[in-house]
């Protein structure tokens, strides 16, 4: 049958593309396509060569396992070729594999060794008389790179086999990988050194093992898992693959604990489903499951084709990486006001689901990866992890690709966007008004150490916001018993109690109110410092950065947060609504030695009837007093409630003035 010219051209194009991608992956450690895209190219070429056998040539990528070794390393010829593994991408293809095996063996059912397909770099370790003498990469399956010096730095590679009885020559084969934790640690190290982070653990492992300087490899947290053997001379091994792995484990090799023998196709399918469910929880990446005929005599009968044994297959998981196009980049506002860029993608099936969005984390990350609107990108999704863009395919960048610019106004409420120097996250400053932050702001506002609105818990806040009853924090003070009683799990008594708690919260301190506003990095201590320094809210709202930075413990970053918060008209409007609703606090003079109790030192003991100890402390501090936890000769007053402790006796011994609760309340009211 004559081969159409278009087919010949397509075969030539496919071979060039695959050779190029092999070079990028194996030699440069810098792939520009996803695994799924590479698999599609290879399968298309395999299909065409199967339909037109005359097109098959010895140098076709289908006849090779990998790529040529890098010349910087010495060359190693594998005594037993390190062949590739055929892939099965569906249950039907796995069933076809099992059928072919059974038919060739003439049996009804076959035992298989089932193991995860680790996603790293295949390596061969040669042991002579139990001592490691050489480590080599797979290379093209027949010739690899001598990486002995680098392999010796991997702690999970035994330099000498344990026990006795090992063959004179034993070639152990396995995968060099980086765990998720190791990958994250390595990338943190790369960024700290100002170097480019790795795209994924697989490429990081390959790049780490193939360093010309073994000292660099030694710094990388590489791991090695054994999955089989190659050449064996001068000794015997068990006649089943699973038993060989058990023997290798006894000799000190690291073998994955979850490898086991399964019965027939049903056993294979069950193991595949189990590993697919566990995939996201594993400490390392796997991209499928490998099934090997367990009996070595049956493996010998089945033999091999040009590039792969007939007795093994890899049942691949849905691709975790795919290529697609960035339609647009939009910004989402989180519950704390953080602005997160999100890529809107051409729909692509990856990780078992159709993905249309991917996080870009922050503006710096977009710049680092150079993601532009219109780019073709590689998207990764692992388990339930939010999809992310791992790399841009620069070769496919269109001329009209547009750079992303972070908005200066919040896309939800229109408030200013703040990004403090040295921080990577941009944030909306409209905290009291922005709908995106509403629920979290209300929860914080009502919390015990803020406005202390007892009964206004998380679930009730969710209901109030979702039903549109609270548009901003000030709306809390418009709630009435009838409205609240209609909510889920809120009877008349609960509604009345909550309204009473809301009413009580109107009488507060300036420090509590400032903390309740949720200004970034203004915690309780900073709120107290601001309240003491300014005495009231109005002068604080008018203060500039220079004035704020004169206060102890308030630096330029916190000062900028405060100024930006009060600059927003929406925030000022909500504060004014709360003031009109009756929220108030005792005013005091600015801290300059003035204030009714300025400079006086108080200690509290026992239980007060009309307020908590925290409230008493806040009232005192609002009037310029200092509150201590222990009595000393410098203490001016001891406030005594019910069941006082040892502080009372010490105060009497030192002659400290003692106030009961009535006297204390009178002092506060002066």
Q: Are 326 and 344 in contact (CB under 8 A)?
A: yes
**CA angle at 558 for the pair 555 and 560, rounded to the nearest 5°:** 105
For residue 659, what are the CA distances in angstroms to 613, 641, 667?
14, 9, 9
Residue with tokens 């093209």: 140
Q: Are 261 and 299 in contact (CB under 8 A)?
A: no
Tokens of 302: 């089945």
How would you classify the pairing of strands 169-177 and 223-233? Answer: antiparallel
Q: Are 571 and 565 in contact (CB under 8 A)?
A: yes
In angstroms, the CA 622 to CA 669 distance is 12
* Per-residue DSSP letter, 160: B
Residue with tokens 């949720």: 518
In angstroms, the CA 205 to CA 228 distance is 20
C-alpha closest to that of 420 among 290, 520, 280: 520
Residue with tokens 């089943």: 240
Tokens of 151: 């392999």
- Written as one string, the DSSP assignment of 294-341 is SBHHHHHHH-B-SSSBTTEEEEEPSPSEEEEEEEEEEEEE-TTSEEEE
Catalytic residues: 117
**125 SS3 class:** strand
In angstroms, the CA 244 to CA 228 distance is 8
C-alpha closest to that of 251 among 238, 240, 239: 238
Contacts of 28 (CB under 8 A, 6+ apart): none
């Amino acid at each position: 049958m004559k081969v159409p010219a278009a087919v010949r051209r397509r075969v030539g194009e496919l071979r060039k593309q695959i050779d190029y991608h092999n070079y990028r992956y194996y030699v440069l450690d810098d792939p520009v396509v996803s695994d799924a895209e590479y698999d599609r190219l290879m399968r298309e070429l395999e299909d065409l060569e199967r339909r037109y056998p005359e097109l098959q040539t010895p140098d076709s990528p289908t006849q090779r396992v990998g790529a040529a070794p890098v010349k910087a390393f010495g060359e190693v010829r594998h005594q037993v070729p390190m062949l590739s593994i055929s892939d099965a991408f569906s249950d039907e293809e796995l069933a076809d594999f099992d059928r072919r095996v059974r038919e060739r063996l003439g049996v009804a059912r076959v035992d298989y060794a089932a193991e995860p397909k680790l996603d790293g770099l295949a390596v061969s370790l040669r042991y002579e008389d139990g001592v490691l003498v050489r480590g080599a990469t797979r290379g093209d399956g027949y010739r690899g790179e001598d990486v002995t010096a680098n392999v010796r730095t991997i702690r999970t590679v035994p330099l000498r086999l344990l026990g006795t009885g090992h063959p004179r020559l034993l070639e152990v084969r396995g995968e060099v990988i980086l765990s998720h934790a190791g990958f994250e640690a390595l990338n943190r190290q790369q960024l700290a050194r100002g170097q480019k982070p790795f795209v994924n653990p697989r490429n990081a492992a390959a790049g780490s093992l193939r360093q010309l300087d073994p000292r660099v490899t030694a710094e990388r947290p590489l791991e090695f898992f054994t999955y089989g053997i190659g050449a064996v001379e001068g000794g015997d091994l068990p006649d089943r693959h699973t038993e060989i792995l058990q023997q290798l484990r006894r000799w000190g090799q690291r073998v994955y604990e979850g490898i086991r023998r399964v019965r027939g196709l049903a056993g294979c399918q069950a193991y595949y489903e189990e590993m697919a469910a566990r995939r996201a929880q594993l400490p390392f990446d796997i991209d499928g499951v490998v099934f090997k005929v367990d009996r070595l005599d049956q493996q010998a009968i089945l033999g091999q084709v040009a590039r792969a044994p007939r007795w093994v297959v890899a049942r691949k998981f849905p691709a975790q990486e795919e290529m697609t196009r960035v339609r647009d980049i939009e910004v989402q506002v989180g519950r704390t006001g953080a602005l997160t860029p999100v890529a809107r993608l051409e729909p692509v099936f990856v990780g078992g689901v159709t993905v249309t969005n991917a996080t870009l984390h922050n503006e710096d990350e977009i710049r680092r990866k150079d993601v532009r609107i219109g780019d073709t990108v590689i998207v990764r999704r692992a388990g339930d992890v939010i999809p992310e863009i791992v790399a841009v395919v620069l070769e496919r960048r269109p001329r009209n690709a547009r750079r992303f610019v972070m908005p200066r106004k919040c896309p939800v409420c229109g408030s200013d966007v703040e990004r403090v120097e040295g921080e990577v996250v941009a944030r909306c400053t409209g905290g009291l008004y922005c709908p995106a932050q509403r629920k979290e702001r209300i929860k914080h506002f009502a919390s015990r150490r803020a406005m202390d609105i007892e009964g206004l818990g998380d679930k009730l806040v969710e209901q109030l916001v979702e039903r549109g009853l609270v548009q901003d924090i000030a709306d809390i003070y418009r709630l009435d018993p009838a409205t609240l009683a209609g909510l889920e799990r809120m009877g008349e008594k609960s509604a009345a109690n909550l309204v009473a708690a809301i009413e009580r919260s109107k009488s507060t301190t300036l420090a509590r109110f400032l903390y309740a506003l949720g200004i970034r990095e203004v915690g309780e201590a900073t709120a107290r410092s601001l309240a003491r320094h300014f005495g009231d809210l109005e002068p604080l709202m008018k203060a500039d950065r220079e004035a704020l930075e004169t206060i102890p413990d308030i630096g330029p970053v916190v000062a900028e947060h405060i100024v930006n918060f009060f600059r927003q008209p929406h925030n000022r409007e909500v504060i004014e609504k709360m003031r009109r609703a009756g929220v108030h606090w005792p005013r005091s003079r600015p801290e300059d030695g003035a204030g009714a109790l300025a400079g006086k030192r108080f200690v509290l003991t026992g239980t007060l009837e009309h307020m908590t100890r925290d409230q008493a402390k806040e009232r005192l501090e609002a009037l310029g007093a200092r509150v201590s936890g222990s009595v000393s000769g410098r203490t001016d007053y001891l406030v005594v409630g019910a069941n006082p402790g040892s502080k009372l006796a010490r105060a009497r011994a030192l002659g400290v003035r003692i106030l009961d609760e009535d006297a204390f309340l009178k002092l506060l009211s002066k």
